[in-house]
Amino acid sequence: MRMRALVLGAAAGGGLPQWNCGCDNCAAARKGVIAPQTQSSLAVTSDGAHWTVLNASPDIRAQLAANAQMWPTGPRISPLRSLIITNGDIDHIGGLLTLREKQPFIIYLTEAIDAVLRANPVFLAMDNALVERRICKLEEWFELNSTSRARLFAVPGKVPLFMESGTVETQMLGEQTVGVEYEANGARLLYIPGCAAMTDAIDAKISDADLVLFDGTLYADDEMIAAGLGQKTGLRMGHMPMSGAGGSLETFKPYDHVRKIYVHMNNTNPVWLPDSAERWHAQDCGWEIGHDGMEITL
Ligand code: MLT
Ligand code: MN
Ligand code: ZN
């Protein structure tokens, strides 16, 4: 084993079902016809004992309880040793408030994402003496332990939804939205739960990776509008769709050695349905559909 990756939450912000949504997928999840899914998070390890959690979802309490890999091994000894944050949206930072119980760990994040936390004093609930925030520069490796390291890289995206004002630039390339490159014992994983567009730089990283977990928010860019659930396209929300011109099914090159898994699926996405044509098409294109509790060993 070089690394293990555990999908703690495969759904986008809101989860499946989302509390106020009665769409077909959410209704099916409530009835147990399809498995409910929690909000966006991944855990990775190079030794099976010490885990780094990528994004702290509002569902983290249930996620840590549902996966034995994450259970404490003694009084106040959690396998969760560090966290990496990829943007300031609530689905990726809300869980920090759950992790406030006097537990030491390290949070790695960019200056821009740390500024979002600093602007919200509720995050002072995490004891600064125990929870260290390490500011990371883009593209600079940092050691997580003796057998693993990570670096953050710019991904086209936007400011967090709750900080939008005026005209919103949806394809900013900088520190607001980042991907994570995680390397353990020579194996390389990319985690990109939000991505508004493919770039040459991201494509080059994918060609060097063994495993990529990628933004699967919407299948069709206009699916929320078509379902009568909102006015926004996926691209307006900072997420490239799976289908269509410029979508991930088209833009991903067929690198044979790279395992591709969709994560951060919105509850409207038809790939949640086991027999949908959309799910079959994504699988035919070489993708796996992530789900809560999915574990990958490299
Ligand atoms: C997103 O990925 O677009 C956000 O999670 C939206 C939200 O915070 O609800
Ligand atoms: Mn999100
Ligand atoms: Zn729904």
Mean pLDDT, rounded, of the chain:
97
Q: What is the pLDDT of residue 43?
A: 99
Q: Quick check: 250 pLDDT over 90?
A: yes
Q: Can you tell me which residue has the tokens 């739960």?
A: 193
Distance (Å, rounded) from C-alpha 131 to C-alpha 58?
A: 18
Mean pLDDT score, 236-256: 95
Closest CA to 282 of 207, 194, 199, 218: 218
251 confidence band (pLDDT: 50, 70, 90): very high
Alpha carbon of 250 to ligand 2 centroid (Å) = 22
CB 220 within 8 A of CB 12: no
pLDDT tens digits, one per residue of 106-126: 999 999 999 999 999 999 999
Which atom of ligand 1 sits closest to the CA of residue 194? Answer: 2
**Does the predicted TM-score (pTM) go above 0.85?**
yes
pLDDT tens digits, one per residue of 135-174: 999 999 999 999 999 999 999 999 999 999 999 999 999 9
- Three-state DSSP at 273 gives coil
Which atom of ligand 1 sits closest to the CA of residue 90? Answer: 8
Closest CA to 35 of 297, 267, 284: 267
φ and ψ at residue 114, rounded to 5 degrees? -60, -35
23 lines ligand 1 (CB under 6 A): no
Q: Can you tell me which residue has the tokens 């410029």?
A: 246
φ and ψ at residue 185, rounded to 5 degrees? 50, 35
Alpha carbon of 243 to ligand 3 centroid (Å) = 19
CB 99 within 8 A of CB 105: yes
Question: Which residue's CA is minimally distant from atom 1 of ligand 1?
Answer: 13
CA dihedral 288→291→295→298, nearest 10 degrees, is 30
pLDDT tens digits, one per residue of 37-69: 999 999 999 999 999 999 999 999 999 999 999
128 confidence band (pLDDT: 50, 70, 90): confident
Which of 89, 195, 267 is the best mutation target for the ligand 1 pocket, counting ligand atoms within 8 Å of the beta carbon and taking the most? 89
Q: Quick check: 256 pLDDT over 90?
A: no
Question: Which residue's CA is minimally distant from atom 7 of ligand 1?
Answer: 13
DSSP per-residue codes, 3-23: -EEEEEE-B-TT-BS-TT--S
Q: Look up residue 95 and give its two tokens.
A: 């869980």
Closest CA to 270 of 208, 195, 225, 220: 220
Distance (Å, rounded) from C-alpha 112 to C-alpha 91?
A: 17
Q: What is the pLDDT of residue 44?
A: 99
Q: Quick check: 296 pLDDT over 90?
A: yes
Q: Can you tell me which residue has the tokens 């990776």?
A: 209
Which atom of ligand 1 sits closest to the CA of residue 237? Answer: 3
| Residue at 2: amino acid letter | R
Q: What is the pLDDT of residue 254?
A: 87
Mean pLDDT score, 235-251: 97
